[in-house]
Amino acid sequence: MSTFPERFARHASIPGFDQEKLQAATVVVVGLGAVGSVVALELALVGVGRLLLCDPDRVAPSNLSRGPLFRPSDVGVLKVDCAARRLTEIAPGIVIEARPKPFLAGVGLAELRDADLVLGCLDSRAARVSLAGRLGLVRARSIDGATSAWSGEVRPFLDPDGPCYACALSPAERAVTDAPWSCMDARVPEPQAASAPIAALVGAWMSALALRFLLGESLSQNAIVVDVVRGVAEPLVWPRASDCPLHAPILPSSVKRISISASATVAELLAALGPNCRPLAWGAVLCRLECPRGDHQELAYGETTSRPCPRCGTLLRARTSIELDTAPEAAVLSDLGVAPREILAVRAQGGLTYVELA
């Protein structure tokens, strides 16, 4: 403890506390809403050295009643930028990486794999299933948190061979998606009941479990349901489901590291892979816009809104693909939704392989 300032002096009397271990830890926080901002704040205060914060949204007025990191002047500003600025004020010396994108495009599989822990603070079942799928691909350890009006859940997933979030769901529930029908379809989620005390309760419980895990201390891996109305916190146990499709990790031996990063172009990626290789994205990539009447088509990527056909005025239709080689060669991978340090599947003559971006 002598190498740390007096701000951590109270930690010294806690059995098993190792400040240097926390300082060396990397934690990914996915979702910077009410629960996520509590989690990020608690981990920064306790001395976690590096936080990677991922959320595409901007601060809304409704966030001000629940998110401790947000102020009225922050409305309209990216959540991750506000959080990064405030956390560095509160905990000088912490390293913050802000990723203002959905987690599929914001955090690569290699980053999830190499992080000490991932904390999921998402607000829909479909998003949780999607994150669980990515975590399962690289056997990453995580803790998930959720709130309702007067209760909440905290679910640790610290054993890669144990059940995942989707194991507790039926096949029909796993199949529900938040994804729009096309890249041009903007969906507004239904507002959910939430309050600051419940978010703080769930976020603090997640942070306490995360702390013990990072310190290497024992902890229960049962999920916990906290019910304020009944005044109880009850364990929730479910087995690994034999039909859950999210337990097929990428074999490390099948992954090849390449010098290309997400800031490279499609052409540079294809050149690095060699002939007869088709890199695949984990989500649909917008490749072109075309007129339903056949009057016009054009290459396009990185767009979020449609526009009328310049010839007939009909709204152009998006054409998407998961095959990155169908995108414009000049397109930058990150603009196509490829995350930093992503692991991409590659279809080649010898079958399916994987490459890890630099």
Q: Residue 164 pLDDT more than 50? A: yes
Mean pLDDT across the stretch 196-223? 96
Tokens of 339: 């995350």
Per-residue pLDDT band for 191 (boundaries 50, 70, 90) equals low
pLDDT (0 to 100) of residue 321: 83
Q: Where are the domains of the chain?
A: 6-236, 252-356
pLDDT (0 to 100) of residue 297: 67
Per-residue pLDDT band for 3 (boundaries 50, 70, 90) equals low
The per-residue pLDDT of the chain, averaged, comes to: 90
Per-residue pLDDT band for 260 (boundaries 50, 70, 90) equals very high
pLDDT (0 to 100) of residue 301: 61
The better pLDDT of the pair 235, 294 is held by 235
Distance between CA atoms of residues 234 and 210, nearest Å:
19
**Percent of the chain whose pLDDT exceeds 90:** 75
CATH node for 6-236: 3.40.50.720
pLDDT (0 to 100) of residue 87: 98
Mean pLDDT across the stretch 120-129? 94
pLDDT (0 to 100) of residue 186: 47
pLDDT (0 to 100) of residue 318: 76
pLDDT (0 to 100) of residue 182: 43
Per-residue pLDDT band for 189 (boundaries 50, 70, 90) equals low
**Percent of the chain whose pLDDT exceeds 70:** 92
Tokens of 298: 């054009």
pLDDT tens track for 26-76: 999 999 999 999 999 999 999 999 999 999 999 999 999 999 999 999 999
Distance between CA atoms of residues 193 and 190, nearest Å:
10
pLDDT (0 to 100) of residue 304: 53
pLDDT tens track for 296-350: 766 666 555 667 888 887 888 777 889 999 888 998 999 999 999 999 999 998 8
